Amino acid sequence: MTRVKKGVNALKSRKNILRKVKGYRHGRSTKERQANEAIMHAGTYSFEHRRDKKGDFRRLWNVRLSALLKQNGTSYSKFIYLLKKKGIALDRKILAETALKYPETLKKILDAVR
């Protein structure tokens, strides 16, 4: 079997790894083994936090909606209950955006629900 020197391939993989960790602190940005470890951790965190982001946004929408509903004399939970009871299928994202940009429209929705 012929001898294969892995210089080019090893350098290429090392360069790709170090490119991903540019800006990391200490040895994680310069040492291949630490950089690889950092990439693995970063990947798991990014996966988890993509899931967390969905919950974070839902909480944000609830808070925004709740704030405007309190100004109009009702609570968030009562409003959501009445929406479901009337069969109005607007999700929290759309309702929160409406509350933020077009509060008059949300007041009309609130009147329709009551």
Q: Is the dihedral of CA 28, 32, 34, 36 positive or negative?
A: positive
**Is residue 6's pLDDT more than 80?**
no
Q: How far is CA 51 from CA 44, 57, 58, 87, 94, in A?
A: 11, 11, 12, 29, 20
Tens digits of residue pLDDT in 47-101? 999 999 999 999 999 999 999 999 989 999 999 999 999 998 999 999 999 999 9
At the top level of CATH, the class of 8-113 is mainly alpha
Map out the domains of the chain as residue ranges: 8-113
**pTM exceeds 0.75 for this model:** no
